[in-house]
Structure 1
């Protein structure tokens, strides 16, 4: 069965049918989901979802574009709740230079602080990096990211950057973008990388795969991503599902599930 390693089911896009959708996932071949915090508020909502649904795990952390309001009290809350049995990662954290707010130095400061937190509480990280390839990699190197472990969420760079993270032992999160006709660079990365470091993700409600591009995304769409990986790698879809499921459990250190 499929493990969706990155979703945002607390998003308002699911307000009308969240319960119905989440309870239907197993019947659609979805074994587990990691809901990912992107702010203090969504981290709290993630905790609530993880407590309510046995097949939902959680990550807590603050997305780079939300770090302008972050403070030491918030960091203390993240540290306290990172010990919750259903919290499996610190994230999503990183750098996003697509938007101008907050400034780059603020983003870097809180990226480093949250990396340090992950190291302290011994959890992997979920890295968000957009239009910030060099700075993200520089910080990951200087802050000992190799020793922390984790996943590069919604990987969007080329083979050279992929190689750096793969050599650090990181997983690459692959989702709906892979099915887009203009995703040549990402298809090359998937062809190049080992299956043992690939995990499936939706980033739902965003980035729905073709043929549902532009619509609300959910874990139910992941078979389209599986089909694309199967075609690129020349391996059966069942193999893609099995390998990525085990990869997700290793990534999030869910040893009792293995």
Structure 2
């Protein structure tokens, strides 16, 4: 069968990094052919690049950027060393970037400034953008309107908005990322967004180590749990598992422009 992808994971998190070889091996055994390790700041972005370099044959790839939680640490803009990481062959996206008005770990004005700067960075490098948006879609759409994405586009990962917000993302040409949340009893609206979205705009992910799917909810999530998310997506969309795997594999190639032998 077509390999799975994990379109968004944090093997560089404290929960997973010490046993990264084990987690990569288990993911490959589970049928995962691509894993995008995502950066949240300069340090974790470098770790993502390092892991992608070490585990490239197993399908690990990197994304680099500044998460909205960390935006307050960068009042002077994106560090030059981080900007330079985007030129590395292991890097296939800028992110995760965006807005988080649920926790407000960084001032909202700073979050917006850092998000806009990183959109410009991604456009210059012709890389897709991995967005994090939580309780902030109005400002997100306003920022995108003022700072249009480049041709490489992007994905709203861990989508948790309404169908009207999903439709606006799709109308902008964005992909929608869905993970373990689609298995949660309380997430009916998210499931409806998945079932209503065109299959050629769906990315599946774990966001590990968080949001483990049922029956492991509350435990540490890993890329090896991707089969549970694919099976849930198959049930929700009414498509065969093989069809979902084929579509999402192609979507990953289209969005991230990773080939069979890309590094």
Give 1:198's aligned residue.
Answer: 202
Hey, what's the Cα distance between the residues in 1 that align with 2:216 and 2:42? 30
The correspondence for 1:22, drawn from 24, 31, 34, is 24
Give 3-state SS (helix, strand or coil) of 2:213's partner: coil
The correspondence for 1:123, drawn from 127, 145, 165, is 127
1:140, 1:146 within 8 Å by CA — same for their partners in 2?
A: no
Hey, what's the Cα distance between the residues in 2 that align with 1:20 and 1:147? 36
The correspondence for 2:114, drawn from 110, 114, 128, is 110
Hey, what's the Cα distance between the residues in 2 that align with 1:52 and 1:72? 32
Give 1:149's aligned residue.
Answer: 153
Give 2:188's aligned residue.
Answer: 184
Hey, what's the Cα distance between the residues in 2 that align with 1:257 and 1:198? 23
Cα deviation for residue 224 of structure 1 reads: 1.5
Hey, what's the Cα distance between the residues in 2 that align with 1:18 and 1:27? 14
Range 228-237 or range 173-182, more displaced: 228-237
Structure 1 unmatched ranges of 5 or more: none
Give 2:47's aligned residue.
Answer: 45
Structure 2 unmatched ranges of 5 or more: none
Give 3-state SS (helix, strand or coil) of 2:169's partner: helix
Give 2:14's aligned residue.
Answer: 12
Aligned residues: CA RMSD: 1.5
Cα deviation for residue 30 of structure 1 reads: 0.7
State the Cα deviation string for residues 111-157 of structure 1 (Å, max 9, x = none): 10001000111100000001101001111122112644010010010
The TM-score normalised by the length of structure 1 is 0.95
Give 3-state SS (helix, strand or coil) of 2:208's partner: coil
Give 1:219's aligned residue.
Answer: 223
Moved over 3 A (4+): 71-75, 255-258
Range 174-183 or range 142-151, more displaced: 142-151
State the Cα deviation string for residues 62-98 of structure 1 (Å, max 9, x = none): 0011011115574322221101111000000000111
Hey, what's the Cα distance between the residues in 2 that align with 1:127 and 1:62? 10
Hey, what's the Cα distance between the residues in 1 that align with 2:65 and 2:200? 26
Query: How many equivalent residue pairs?
Result: 258
The correspondence for 1:93, drawn from 77, 85, 97, is 97
Give 1:239's aligned residue.
Answer: 243
The structure-2 alpha-carbon separation of the partners of 1:39 and 1:211, relative to structure 1 and needing over 3 Å to count, comes to same
Range 156-165 or range 141-150, more displaced: 141-150
Hey, what's the Cα distance between the residues in 2 that align with 1:171 and 1:257? 23
Range 55-64 or range 9-18, more displaced: 9-18
Higher relative CO (CA 8 A, sep ≥ 6), structure 1 or 2?
2
The TM-score normalised by the length of structure 2 is 0.94
State the Cα deviation string for residues 167-215 of structure 1 (Å, max 9, x = none): 1111101100000011111011011100100011111000000010000
Give 1:34's aligned residue.
Answer: 36
The correspondence for 2:171, drawn from 167, 179, 182, is 167
